[in-house]
Amino acid sequence: MYITAAILSVILALVSLAAGAPKALLKGDVPAGLQSHMGLSAGFVRFIGLAEVAAAVGLVIGLFWQPLGVAAAVGMTVTLVGAVVFHARVGDYANPETKGNAMAPIVLALVSVATVVTLSLAM
């Protein structure tokens, strides 16, 4: 079970770092899109980015100390559920042009739940 937990943790950490770093730095199209399309403030976008980067760090450290990995995966799940709510609030799931990008938080939330379960079972 630990190998599965480790693989899921690494995948989730890489995705979390790749998604969080541009938001934390407020660089690129994604932070600008979150501000214009969803109406989020720059501070809130940066907060989300820092939370995603912290989750990535926690997931990597959690490979050696599973309680931290579980906490990081739970935090990532909460962040992703929030993303799903924000996408639903602006109507991204009803719009064919934005539906594809809006599905990513749903898939990643499922991966983060699987990471929580496998890390918990590996302890």
Tell me how many domains the chain contains. Answer: 1
Q: What is the pLDDT of residues 24-64, one digit of tens each?
A: 998 888 888 888 888 889 999 999 999 999 999 999 999 99
Q: Do you know the residue count of the chain?
A: 123
Strand (E) or helix (H) holding 1: none
Q: Name the packing angle between helices 2-25 and 42-61 (round to 10°).
A: 150
pLDDT tens-place string over residues 85-95: 999 999 989 88
Helices 42-61 and 66-89, packing angle to 10 deg? 150
CB 34 within 8 A of CB 45: yes
Q: State how far the Cα of 81 lies from the Cα of 84, in Å rounded to an integer.
A: 5
Q: State the alpha helices, DSSP H only, in 26-98.
A: 29-37, 42-61, 66-89
Enclosing domain of residue 33:
2-122
